[in-house]
Copies of this chain bind each other. A is one copy, B any other.
Amino acid sequence: MGKPTKVTNSIRALRFAHGEMTQAELAERLGVTRQTVIAIEHGRYSPSLEMAFQIARVFGVPLDDVFQYPGTEE
């Protein structure tokens, strides 16, 4: 299945910071399934770029606040 991705994320923290938003609620807002949210949140695979942009938009933060690519900081 999905390669254990190098990209990490802060989705869980952002969900709780946004009114205890549930995974189901986030999934619905993104127009994807709950399983997709769970898989991304757990880092089982990294989302597509479009999905990443959408997630960042839901939380109203820049992309880099949601996803971290190790080694990006010089």
Q: Which residues of A contact B (CB under 8 A)?
A: 5-7, 46-54, 56-57, 62-64, 67, 69, 71-72
Give bound CA distance, A54 to B49, whole Å.
12
Q: How many copies does the complex hold?
A: 2
Determine which of B49, B57, B69, B71 lies in contact with A47 in the assembled complex, contact meaning CB atoms within 8 Å: B49
Give bound CA distance, A69 to B51, whole Å.
10
| Residue contact B46 to A46, C-beta cutoff 8 Å | no
Determine which of B7, B56, B63 lies in contact with A50 in the assembled complex, contact meaning CB atoms within 8 Å: B7
4 tightest CB-CB pairs across the interface, nearest first? Answer: A53-B69, A46-B49, A49-B52, A46-B50
| Residue contact B62 to A50, C-beta cutoff 8 Å | no
Give bound CA distance, A59 to B53, whole Å.
20
